[in-house]
Structure 1
Amino acid sequence: MIVLPAIDIQGGNCVRLLKGDFSTAHKVAENPEDTAAGFRAAGASWIHMVDLDGAKNGGVVNAPVFLKIAAASGLKVELGGGIRTMETVSYYLENGVSRVILGSVAVKNPALVREAAERYGDRIAVGIDAKNGMVATEGWLDTSSVSYLELAKKMEQAGVKTIIFTDISKDGTLQGVNMEQLALINEAVSCDIIASGGVRDLHDIAACKKLGLYGVICGKSIYCGSLSLPDAIEMAGEQTC
């Protein structure tokens, strides 16, 4: 299982949100590049990054930050937020980003997801973010009438190999991951599942590993000190690409 430390970018700064609420954004680190370097020094091989401005407004907003980290950090960058066209997908993947995450378009334009998966294979992931089991879109500002399991099955059929599942009610709370929903989605599809939202400590890492998940994203727990990134990586075991 891989551990992906997270950096969310808003206005060029490293921030975290509580339950996806943009009004709760607070700065958690001084410099994205130095933060990424610290993750690399701790043993990480991947980093999970989100363009919060892009997620809210749609489009490429903080691209220079992401491309600089992709080029200089020695980490594989997984990036989401506002990626809603093939042009944006290609722009990032052809300029150093290792994997892009499609979120809102998975609900609103599934044909784009299929096209991206056909062209780029396992470099395409879909982020499924849910409130009470229903998929949220547009930077979590809107809730759809689509269940997270229904969307996961559709994305599997579209050729998607990796799904990042977030229970929004857990995100940023340090209350633990939603093991019930993670188990259901992991059983429902053959895709690699990455857990996101609510990770507090090594108990969550152990639980995700026991489920047989592909990966787990850690954000606030690292910044506040409830989780040691080196210990999490060690517990997760041998990392894979």
Structure 2
Amino acid sequence: MIILPAIDIKDGNCVRLKKGDFGTVHKVSENPFETAKSFKAAGAEWMHMVDLDGAKTGQRPNRELILKLIKESGLNVEIGGGIRDMDCVRDYLENGAARVILGSAALENKEFVKQAVAEYGDRIAVGIDAKDRKVATKGWLNTSNVDFIDFAKEIEQLNVKYIIFTDISCDGMLTGPNFALLKELQNAVSCNIIASGGIRDIDNISELCKMGVYGAICGKSIYSGTLDLKEAVKIGGLQK
């Protein structure tokens, strides 16, 4: 299982939120470059990044910082937040990103997803963020009427190979991921599932490994010290 330590960028800073609430934003690192360096030193080979400003507004004010982080980190980086058209997809993938994450745009524009997958294949992931089972969009500010399982099945039909699933109620809370919803998602589709939100400690990592999910995104647990990244990478095993 791949361990993906996370960096969320807002206003150029490395931050974390609780349950996606922008009112809870707090800086967790003075220097995102040093943070990425520490991830690599701990043995991580991947990094998950989100442009929170992009997710909220569709603009990408942190683009230059993100591209520099991708270039200098020495890690495989998956990036999401504000990727609403093919120009954004190409910009990130042709400037060093290993994978891009489509979120709001994937729900609103299936043709965009088809085009992205046709052009870049398994370098395209879709983020499914659920609030009371319903898919949330626009940086989690809006909630649709679409059930997350129904959406996942639609995404699978578009040949998307990677789904990043977050139960918003768990995100940033260090209460553990929603194992029940993750299992339901695993049973519903054949996509590679990356678990995100709520991971607290090495026991959570071990449980996710047993479930056979493809990856686990760890953010607040690393910054707060409840999870040792080096140990998590070791437990996760082979990086891909």
TM category, shorter = over 0.9
Equivalent position amino acid for 1:97 in 2 = A
Q: How does 1:1-241 map to 2 (within 5 A)?
A: 1-240=1-240
Q: Deviations over 1:11-65 (max 9, x none)?
A: 1000000000001000000111110001000000000000000001102221112
Identity of counterpart residues, as a percentage? 60
Is the Cα contact below 8 Å between 1:60 and 1:88 reproduced in 2? no
The TM-score, its normalising length taken from structure 2, stands at: 0.99
TM-score, length-normalised on structure 1? 0.99
Q: In structure 2, the residue corresponding to 1:126 is in which secondary structure?
A: strand
Name structure 2 gaps, 5 residues minimum. none
Structure 2 Cα separation of the partners of residues 224 and 154 of structure 1:
36
Give the secondary structure class of the aligned counterpart of 2:83.
coil
1:160 counterpart SS class: coil
1:114 Cα offset (Å): 1.0
Gaps of 5+ in 1: none
SS state of the match for residue 169, structure 1?
coil
Counterpart AA for 1:160: V
SS in 2 for 1:119: helix
One-letter amino acid matched to 1:125? A
Shift of residue 213, structure 1, vs aligned partner: 0.4
Task: Look up the SS of the partner of 1:61 in the other structure.
Answer: coil
Code of the residue aligned with 2:219 in structure 1: it is G
Deviation (angstroms), 1:145: 0.5
**Whole-angstrom distance in 2 between the partners of 1:134 and 1:68:** 35
Contact 1:160 1:191 in 2 (8 A): yes
Asked whether the 8 Å contact 1:42–1:229 carries over to 2, the reply is yes
Q: 1:125-145, CA deviations, whole angstroms, 9 ceiling, x for partnerless residues?
A: 000000011000000000000
How far apart are the structure 1 equivalents of 2:13 and 2:50?
11
Superposed CA RMSD in Å reads 0.6
Detail structure 1 runs of 4+ shifted over 3 Å in the superposition. Answer: none
CA distance in structure 2 between the aligned counterparts of 1:193 and 1:169, rounded to whole angstroms = 18
Task: Give CA deviations for 1:172-218 in whole Å, capped at 9, x if unaligned.
Answer: 00000000000011111111000000000011101111111000000
Letter matched to residue 126 of structure 1:
V
